[in-house]
Amino acid sequence: MNCEILLDQISARCDKFRADLTAAAQNLRDLNRRLEQILQQLHKDIAVRDESFAAQFNQYCLDLRRCLDEDEPFWTQARAQIRSCKDSDWTGDLTLAAKGLNSRAKTLSRASDEFTTAYDIFYRNYTGFTAAKLNVWLLTSCQNDVDSLTGKILFLARDIAKKTERNRRPHVFG
């Protein structure tokens, strides 16, 4: 596989991962709002009305884990293919695409930060909540994997951008 095709595939998967993370963060914020309502109801000794919360939260965690597990082989393979490419394979004509990937990786990093923030808020509210058995350990595992994978993608994008910039031919003026 040549570097241009690899770069296009990585860019597309980066966009998909960002979209998935953005949706996951929004769903977690929605679940957090429901948890806050449940906590208020418990604090006021009101019967909890949201009986499906625990099942939906646990399903959310399972779906998120499945999504991350499906994406992991692609990223592992892509990183291995990039390491197998010579520095000279990253030609200067790929500079614009490499900068685009770097930009996509940065937006992915922001989406990862939003997910981490949503996780932190949820976890803070969850602490001490014993009314239902929630798979928060699975959510914590997913959040750690998201942080790790995002860091690897950022490093990968920066490395590619450096290699293409280095191989760019100098412009001749005049």
User: Is residue 1 very low, low, confident or very high in pLDDT (cuts 50, 70, 90)?
Assistant: low
Average pLDDT over residues 84-110: 88
Which region among 7-11, 108-112, 168-172 has the lowest average model confidence (pLDDT)? 168-172
Cβ 144 vs Cβ 67: under 8 Å = no
- What pLDDT is recorded for position 169? 65
Percent of the chain with pLDDT over 90: 62
What CA–CA distance (Å, rounded) separates 102 from 80?
18
| CA dihedral angle for residue 99, residue 167, residue 75, residue 102, rounded to 10 degrees | -10
**101-156 pLDDT tens trace:** 999 999 999 999 999 999 999 999 888 777 778 889 999 999 999 999 999 999 99
Per-residue burial over 20-58, b if 16 or more Cβ lie within 10 Å, else e, is: bbbebbebbeebbeebeebbeeeeeeeeeeeeebeeebb
What CA–CA distance (Å, rounded) separates 55 from 67?
18
User: Is residue 89 very low, low, confident or very high in pLDDT (cuts 50, 70, 90)?
Assistant: confident
| Total-model pTM | 0.88
- What pLDDT is recorded for position 47? 87
